[in-house]
């Protein structure tokens, strides 16, 4: 009897040890797959064209790793049950009456709490480093003409290159449905946003009618533009190229067409552009909303429902085209 008992305990020990080894092996496998997914996550994003994008992608990769680990762990367990723990065809008895397990429940309450603290801390640090947003506390309604004193320069992003003198903010004007960028120092305007690479770019976001959203996916930043407020916004481009700028807050009929391009270029090319454009006479820009609206007024067939009339195409020194290529 005792010998038998002894043998059973020994067998149990061996089985237990084997189970622990197996589980550890599976956990390591899961971890490896999760780390690989975390690396893949970088490829799902647009090009990294700003200092902020580097930070956001790193955060996303981290969260993808953690998320994959949890997802595979839970789904793997479920699949094992579904595959190997099915009731036999005529077996209508019940399973073991296990109603709970305090140790297990404490673990799976504590684990998410720790994870949340971890992800929360990383996110907080990332946001702090980005520091894209100026003081947004409700101010007196700033009229469009008043350009307030430059706010105290925010902490620079690590990868951003310090610039001795803060450039004046570029005024971003959003309308139904066009974008206009005003370089107040140079007294020029454009429907394409030009920025020098590796310098902190500062914006004053203004809407002339409804809510719009300033969104450049390659920069990973976005800010709603609220009519009646001028919002200080900043970012640091780090990669030359032409990227898409999209309206990200639904703004009515031609919302989808309310996009333009951002050109990030070397400091010399940027200065060159400013001087060339300053010498150009302002003309009416190409405008998709206007063109479509006019066409819909002419042909009655596919007019759809009445719409707000688009604002007139902006009169600017430099006008971009929808046909321009972008990354």
Partner 1 sequence: MSNATLEPLRPNQPPSNPSPEPGTPENWRTFFSFSTDHKVIGIQYIVTAFIFFLFGGLLAMVMRGELITPESDLVNRTVYNGLFTMHGTIMLFMWTFPMLNGLANYLVPLQIGARDMAFPRLNAAAFWMVPVFGVILITSFFVPGGPSQSGWWAYPPVSLQNPTGNLINGQSLWLLAVALSGVSSIMGAVNIVTTIFRMRAPGMGWFKMPAFCWTVLSAQMIQLIGLPALTAGAVMLLLDLTVGTSFFNPELGGDPVLYQHFFWFYSHPAVYVIILPIFGVFSEVFPVYARKPLFGYKVVAISSLLITGLSLIVWVHHMFASGTPGWMRMLFMITTMTISVPTGIKVFAWVATIWGGKIRLTSGMLFGLGALFAFLFAGITGVMLASAPFDIHVNNTYFVVGHFHYVINGAVVMGFYAAIYHWFPKMTGKMYYEGLGKLHFALTFLGINLIYLPMHPMGLMGMPRRVASYDPEFAFWNVLASLGGFLLGVSTLPFLLNMLSSWTQGKPAGDNPWNAIGIEWLVSSPPPHENFEEIPVVVSPPYGYGSDEPLVSNNPAGKPIAEAMSSSEMEGAIA
- Binding to partner 1 in span 47-86, by CB under 8 A: 55-56, 59-60, 63-64, 67, 70-71, 74-75, 77-78, 81-82, 85-86
Work out whether 241 is an interface residue with partner 1 (CB under 8 A).
no
Q: Could you say which DSSP state residue 254 is in? A: T
As measured in angstroms, the least distance from the Cβ of 271 to partner 1 is: 29
Work out whether 90 is an interface residue with partner 1 (CB under 8 A).
no
Q: Residues 34, 69: contact at Cβ < 8 Å?
A: yes
Work out whether 311 is an interface residue with partner 1 (CB under 8 A).
no
As measured in angstroms, the least distance from the Cβ of 266 to partner 1 is: 24
Work out whether 217 is an interface residue with partner 1 (CB under 8 A).
yes
Taking the least distance from each CB to partner 1, the nearer of 96 and 187 is 96
> What's phi and psi for 136, nearest 5 deg?
-110, 10
Binding to partner 1, residues 265-304 (CB under 8 A): 292, 296, 302-304
Binding to partner 1, residues 20-49 (CB under 8 A): 44-46
> Which segments within 208-269 are labelled E, that is strand?
212-216, 221-225, 231-235, 241-247, 259-265
For 58, the token pair is 């790193």
As measured in angstroms, the least distance from the Cβ of 94 to partner 1 is: 4
Stretch that binds partner 1, among 16-24, 190-198, 220-228, 263-271 (CB under 8 A): 220-228
Work out whether 240 is an interface residue with partner 1 (CB under 8 A).
no
Q: What angle do CA 220, 222, 224 make, to 5 degrees?
A: 175
Element spanning 179, H or E: strand 178-183
Binding to partner 1, residues 119-178 (CB under 8 A): 119-120, 123-124, 126-127, 130, 132-133, 135-137, 141
Which residues have a Cβ under 8 Å from the Cβ of 197 and sit 6 or more positions away? 237, 238, 239, 240, 264, 265, 266, 267
CA–CA distance, 308 with 289 (Å, rounded to integer):
11
């Amino acid at each position: 009897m005792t010998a038998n008992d002894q043998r059973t305990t020994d067998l149990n020990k061996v089985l237990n040890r084997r189970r622990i080894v197996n589980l550890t092996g599976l956990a390591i496998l899961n971890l490896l797959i999760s780390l690989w997914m975390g690396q893949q996550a970088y490829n799902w994003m647009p090009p990294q064209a700003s200092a902020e994008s580097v930070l956001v992608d790193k955060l996303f990769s981290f969260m993808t790793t953690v998320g994959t680990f949890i997802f595979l762990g839970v789904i793997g367990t479920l699949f094992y049950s579904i595959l190997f723990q099915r009731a036999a065809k005529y077996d209508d008895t019940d399973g073991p009456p296990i109603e709970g397990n305090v140790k297990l429940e404490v673990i799976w309450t504590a684990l998410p709490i720790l994870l949340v603290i971890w992800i929360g801390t990383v996110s907080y640090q990332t946001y702090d480093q980005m520091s894209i947003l100026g003081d947004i506390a409700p101010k007196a309604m700033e009229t469009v003409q008043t350009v307030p004193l430059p706010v105290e320069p925010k902490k620079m992003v690590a990868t951003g290159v310090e610039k001795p003198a803060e450039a004046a903010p570029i005024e971003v004007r959003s309308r139904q449905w066009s974008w206009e960028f005003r370089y107040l120092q140079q007294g020029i305007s454009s429907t394409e946003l030009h920025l020098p690479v590796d310098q902190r770019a500062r914006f004053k976001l203004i809407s002339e009618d409804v809510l719009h959203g300033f969104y450049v996916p390659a920069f990973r930043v976005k800010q709603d533009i609220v009519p009646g407020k001028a919002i200080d916004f900043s970012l640091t481009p780090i990669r030359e190229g032409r990227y898409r700028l999209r309206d990200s807050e639904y703004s009515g009929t031609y919302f989808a067409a309310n996009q333009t391009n951002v050109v990030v270029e070397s400091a010399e090319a940027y200065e060159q552009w400013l001087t060339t454009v300053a010498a150009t006479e302002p003309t009416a820009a190409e405008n998709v909303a206007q063109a479509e609206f006019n066409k819909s007024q002419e042909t009655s067939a596919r007019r759809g429902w009445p719409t707000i009339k688009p604002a007139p195409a902006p009169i600017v020194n430099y006008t971009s085209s929808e046909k321009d290529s972008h990354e």
